[in-house]
């Protein structure tokens, strides 16, 4: 039997969960289908909200990044009404090349796993691998390993796996360490090293050190990345040397050929909106993406 819903969001990560949370807040009947795959980007994301640190000034993403920053306080407050804190922090202290620090007011950080948990409170989330999307009776048929659904509107927000449904999204692996017992250092952001960005961030679950990066679909950690990350930790936070590794995180960042997220109608599937391809900027861009999806739905733009 095919079950019907008004809106189905394919993907329950940071983007999918916040889109679903936003649509539900606007009164939509929303179902989230989440495959819970190893390597989901939100589990390994740092949560930095730093347009300048990410060198977005002067790029096409800068305006959207600033909109995300502007929207985060109100969105965080709405999320925390679920009882789950998202640990939004204003202001970031950045480590400067050659030593010294500089404070960037207005930028900040949050805790992506907590954001996803908070957004999912009150949402119906079903564990299912979506196998196909296709037009059906004026809507969209969603075929999964847990049965079929019908929806008037589908939001494709499956991260790196969105590429399986006819859009140009691939994977860039990111690795990070979560250290336990390291000193609290606030938030620090370091300069590029060996072609990667390195940073250390004090979070509620430990000291986060990131991030090794390469084009790969591998979801298991490797020793080379661990050594590089340990070196980054020693450089940025010398007092953290010797801290216990609580977790070696691996996430697959969803990337597009031009580095710009895909937010809009699917190129070939009527009734499907795409919200994918945010790369390393998902935390920063998510509020603007969720608002844009809601606006498109209100305008009836889906094909």
> CATH code at 285?
3.50.50.60
Strands (E), the chain: 3-10, 30-34, 48-49, 89-95, 101-109, 124-127, 130-136, 139-144, 147-156, 170-180, 187-193, 196-203, 206-214, 244-255, 262-265, 272-276
What is the model's pLDDT at position 303?
Answer: 54
Q: Which of 18-22, 44-48, 51-55 has the lowest mean pLDDT?
A: 51-55
pLDDT in tens, 161-210: 999 999 999 999 999 999 997 665 444 444 333 334 688 888 899 999 99
Q: Is the pTM of this model over 0.85?
A: yes
Residue (of 45, 177, 64) closest to 111 by Cα position? 45
What is the model's pLDDT at position 53? 78
Average pLDDT taken over every residue of the chain: 89
Smallest Cα–Cα separation from 137: which of 152, 123, 120? 152
> What's the total number of domains in the chain?
1
| pLDDT, mean of residues 205-228 | 93
Residue 239 pLDDT: 81
Instruction: Please determine, for residue 114, whether its predicted confidence score (pLDDT) is greater than 90.
Output: yes
Q: What is the pLDDT of residue 302?
A: 65
**Is the per-residue pLDDT at 125 higher than 50?**
yes
- The number of residues in the chain equals 303
Residue 95 predicted with pLDDT over 80:
no
| pLDDT for res 188 | 47
User: What is the pLDDT, as a whole number, of residue 135?
Assistant: 94
| Side-chain-facing half-sphere of 233: CA atoms under 13 Å | 26
From 147, 143, 136, select the one nearest 165 (Cα to Cα). 143
**Whole-angstrom Cα distance, residue 62 to residue 205?**
29
Does the structure show a pLDDT above 80 at 73? Answer: yes
pLDDT, residue 134, reads: 96
Structural domain that includes position 158: 3-299
């Amino acid at each position: 039997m095919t079950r019907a819903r008004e809106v189905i969001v394919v993907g329950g990560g940071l983007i999918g969960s916040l889109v679903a949370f936003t649509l539900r807040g606007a009164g939509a009947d929303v179902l989230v289908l989440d495959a819970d795959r190893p390597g989901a980007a939100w589990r390994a994301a740092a949560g930095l909200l730093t347009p300048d640190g990410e060198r977005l000034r002067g790029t096409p993403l800068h305006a959207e990044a600033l909109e995300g920053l502007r929207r985060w306080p109100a969105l965080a407050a709405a999320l925390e009404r679920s009882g789950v804190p998202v640990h939004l922090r204003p202001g970031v202290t950045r480590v400067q090349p050659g030593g010294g620090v500089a404070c960037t007011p207005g930028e900040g950080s949050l805790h992506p796993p907590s954001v996803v948990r908070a957004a999912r409170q009150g949402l119906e989330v079903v564990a299912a691998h979506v196998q196909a999307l296709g037009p059906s009776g004026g809507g969209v048929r969603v075929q999964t390993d847990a049965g079929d659904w019908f929806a008037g509107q589908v939001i494709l927000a499956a991260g790196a796996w969105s590429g399986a449904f006819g859009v140009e999204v691939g994977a860039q692996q990111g690795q990070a360490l979560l250290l336990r017992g390291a000193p609290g250092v606030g938030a620090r952001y370091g300069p590029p090293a060996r072609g990667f960005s390195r940073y250390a961030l004090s979070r509620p679950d430990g000291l986060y050190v990131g991030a090794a990066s390469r084009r790969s679909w591998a979801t298991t950690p490797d020793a080379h990345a661990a050594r590089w990350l340990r070196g980054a930790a020693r450089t940025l936070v010398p007092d953290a040397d010797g801290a216990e590794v609580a977790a070696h995180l691996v996430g697959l960042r969803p990337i597009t050929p031009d580095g710009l997220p895909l937010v809009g109608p699917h190129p070939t599937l009527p009734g499907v909106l795409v919200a994918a391809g945010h790369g390393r900027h998902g935390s920063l861009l998510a509020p603007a993406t969720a608002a844009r999806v809601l606006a498109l739905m209100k305008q009836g733009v889906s094909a």
